[in-house]
Amino acid sequence: MADEGTVRVDLWIWSVRLLKTRSMATTACRAGHVRVNDERAKPATAVKIGDEVRLRHDGRERIVVVQKIVRKRVGAPVAAECLIDKSPPPPPREALVPIGRRDRGAGRPTKRDRRELDRLRALNSTLNPPPGG
């Protein structure tokens, strides 16, 4: 890279532990789930100190501001120093509609159970729409 004060966005997202693997970070960039300064970012997009990075992952949007450039994965305490988290708080667990779970060893669901599960899933998808859609 020409400038020492920049790093690839996929590498930085992985380094500060926003995503578990670098390939997940690259895939998120390619899918359009990462924005740098409100512009869609490719995996090789350079980020520098002061840039705002938005990441949609697991039904939640993370908004962080780059504080420090890191090129290698760092521990959680160091990663916390590398960014300012401006993300909205996650919704409380009570706000999410629970998805039906069967007891372990209960066997296959009956036709009636399956219809109830389908009804719950349909209700969950209307109350908690997927992000960006």
**Does 71 map to a domain?**
yes
**Does 38 map to a domain?**
yes
How far is CA 114 from its chain centroid?
30
**Does 18 map to a domain?**
yes
The 3-state DSSP composition of the chain as helix, strand, coil percent (nearest 5) reads 30, 20, 50
**Does 81 map to a domain?**
yes
Cα–Cα distance for residue pair 18/55, rounded to 1 Å: 8
Each residue's pLDDT tens digit, 83-119? 999 999 887 766 665 565 667 778 888 899 889 888 8
Identity at 132, one-letter amino acid code: G
**Does 126 map to a domain?**
no
**Does 15 map to a domain?**
yes
Task: Give residue 80's domain range.
Answer: 7-90+105-110
**Does 116 map to a domain?**
no
Structural domains counted in the chain: 1
**CATH, residue 77:** 3.10.290.10
Determine phi and psi for 53, rounding to 5 degrees: -115, 125
Each residue's pLDDT tens digit, 20-46? 999 999 999 999 999 999 999 999 999
CB proximity list for 115: less than 8 A, separation 6 or greater: none
